[in-house]
């Protein structure tokens, strides 16, 4: 019999019935959106956009089955809550995205990635079943082997334009108490890319197994791969939720140890390195900035306020400076083309540090709305900052250049932030025929926005 730890049982069917009733009470033709407490998108909606469906109640882990290594989770459950529910039994999801308030439904309808993605793929690839409230107001159960199999495969990268995930059955895996980290430096991007390919192929380095793998590029001559291995004991553990900053330790420590919990959230405390924009990494500021507010969702709320009020841009103009263009993107580049992309990026964009995360799809069938080659090793390149615009340059210039190079290198771009594709370009990249067929079946009246409208036009 399965060892089932029911973390929050009961009431899900009532939640679904209440939401369906709320949906049906919306005026015909009224736009439908979610009203939710958190977001990790960088397309900032006007707060005056009106009320949305209240999905806040769908935030629970319903059941944990450690025998079959599965969990039943509601779509708005954050990974912070999921990890808290699973870790006491010694388990975690196969891929735990870096930021605590990313929701499971958001990681599946959008895209998530982390340092297990070289062996476990993307978060949606460990989903066994989706319960979806579609644009037509129906609740369907989508699996890879039933009548809604096309929705199951087309849901990733649909960003809520086909429906909303209410419940998901996901695979989980066992963990060990600690992670041993090894930070390995490379002087060139080619050396780094070649090492990435070898480690992902062998799943080991210098005779040691590699369970986690990501990288940090500080400059064209200074890049590190961080190799993580599960261990049962640690001679010491580091704490990067206090005065120390995780990414700064990478060039300073060849070897490090973290608890599994602290490893999973190593990037959240300082939003990778983005907390430096708020002064949080300065020792005096950090001492007085409450620890409970050193987290990604707090920083994102500050950025959202700044975007709404254009405070930073207005200040720059008053000081006689030009405005900055936000360049906040994650792109997947084939590993062999990574040096070309980084050469362009250092020369034309100039943001540092840059995050690297290798990924290989688990499923050989692939996923139609984000058509990565299942036989290819990709490297996610993440960069999150601003770039100055010269006088007369239109916003979007730098992002548009990145989009062009990513396409030239046979890469792919995630859609969680601003995009500048023409409609023709967009649909050539994101599989218009499949999307249109799904849209006609599951949202025939267009109650939900279209994918292009939501991801490109809504800025």
Can you give the residue ranges of every domain in the chain? Answer: 12-175+446-457, 178-266, 310-420
Query: Alpha carbon 330 to chain centroid distance?
Result: 9
Q: Per-residue pLDDT tens for 9-68?
A: 568 999 999 999 999 888 877 777 776 666 656 555 555 454 578 888 999 999 999 999
Q: Per-residue pLDDT tens for 99-134?
A: 999 999 999 999 899 999 999 999 999 999 999 999
pLDDT value, residue 299:
87
Give the Cα separation of 130 and 128 in Å (integer).
Answer: 7
The three-state secondary structure class of 217 is: strand
Under CATH, which number does the domain 12-175+446-457 receive?
3.30.465.10
Q: Per-residue pLDDT tens for 279-327?
A: 999 999 999 999 999 999 998 888 877 777 666 666 656 666 678 899 9
- CATH class of domain segment(s) 310-420: alpha beta
Inter-CA distances, 295 with 31, 260, 268, 275, 289, Å = 32, 18, 6, 9, 11
DSSP character string of 10-61: S-HHHHHHHHHHHHHHSPTT----EE-S----SS---GGG---EE-TT---E
* First-to-last C-alpha distance (Å) of the chain: 51
Give the Cα separation of 234 and 91 in Å (integer).
Answer: 19
DSSP-assigned beta bridge partners for residue 127: 170
* Angle made by CA atoms 61, 167, 82, in degrees to the nearest 5: 30
Give the Cα separation of 262 and 125 in Å (integer).
Answer: 24
Give the predicted TM-score (pTM) of the model: 0.92
Q: What is the mean pLDDT of residues 172-194?
A: 98
């Amino acid at each position: 019999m399965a060892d089932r730890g029911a973390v929050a049982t009961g009431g899900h069917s009532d939640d679904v019935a209440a939401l369906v009733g709320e949906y049906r009470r919306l005026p015909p033709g009224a736009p439908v959106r979610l009203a939710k407490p958190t977001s990790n998108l960088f397309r900032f909606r006007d707060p005056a956009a009106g009320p949305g469906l209240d999905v806040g109640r769908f935030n629970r882990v319903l059941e944990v089955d450690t025998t079959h290594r599965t969990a039943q989770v509601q779509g708005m459950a954050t990974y912070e809550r999921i990890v808290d529910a699973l870790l006491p039994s010694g388990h975690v999801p196969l891929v735990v995205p870096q930021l605590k308030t990313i929701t499971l439904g958001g990681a599946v309808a959008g895209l998530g990635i982390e340092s297990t993605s070289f062996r476990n793929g993307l978060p949606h690839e460990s989903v066994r079943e989706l319960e979806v409230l579609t644009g037509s107001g129906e609740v369907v159960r989508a699996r890879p082997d039933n009548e809604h199999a096309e929705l199951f495969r087309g849901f990733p990268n649909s960003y809520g334009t086909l429906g909303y995930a209410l419940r998901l059955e996901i695979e989980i895996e066992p963990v060990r108490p600690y992670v041993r980290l090894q930070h390995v430096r490379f002087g060139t991007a080619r050396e780094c890319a070649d090492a990435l390919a070898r480690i992902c192929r062998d799943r080991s380095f210098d005779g040691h197994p590699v369970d986690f793998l990501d990288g940090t590029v500080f400059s064209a001559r200074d890049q590190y791969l961080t190799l993580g291995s599960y261990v049962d004991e640690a001679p010491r553990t580091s704490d990067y939720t206090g005065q120390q900053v995780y990414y700064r330790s990478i060039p300073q420590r060849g070897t490090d140890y973290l608890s599994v919990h602290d490893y999973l959230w190593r990037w959240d405390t300082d939003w990778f390195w983005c907390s430096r924009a708020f002064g949080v990494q300065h020792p005096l500021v950090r001492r007085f900035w409450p620890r409970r507010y050193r987290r990604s969702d707090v920083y994102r709320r500050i950025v959202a306020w700044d975007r709404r009020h254009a405070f930073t841009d207005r200040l720059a103009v008053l000081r006689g400076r030009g405005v900055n263009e936000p360049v906040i993107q994650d792109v997947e580049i084939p590993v062999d083309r990574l040096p070309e992309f980084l050469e362009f990026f250092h020369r034309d964009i100039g943001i540092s540090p840059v995050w690297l995360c290798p990924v290989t799809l688990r499923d050989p069938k692939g996923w139609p709305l984000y058509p990565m080659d299942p036989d290819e090793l990709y490297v996610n390149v993440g960069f999150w900052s601003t770039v100055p615009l010269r006088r007369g340059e239109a916003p979007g210039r730098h992002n548009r250049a990145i989009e062009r190079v990513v396409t030239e290198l046979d890469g792919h771009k995630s859609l969680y932030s601003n995009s500048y594709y023409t409609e023709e370009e967009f649909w050539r990249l994101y599989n218009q025929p499949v999307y249109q067929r799904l849209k006609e079946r599951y949202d025939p009246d267009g109650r939900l926005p279209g994918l292009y409208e939501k991801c490109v036009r809504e800025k």
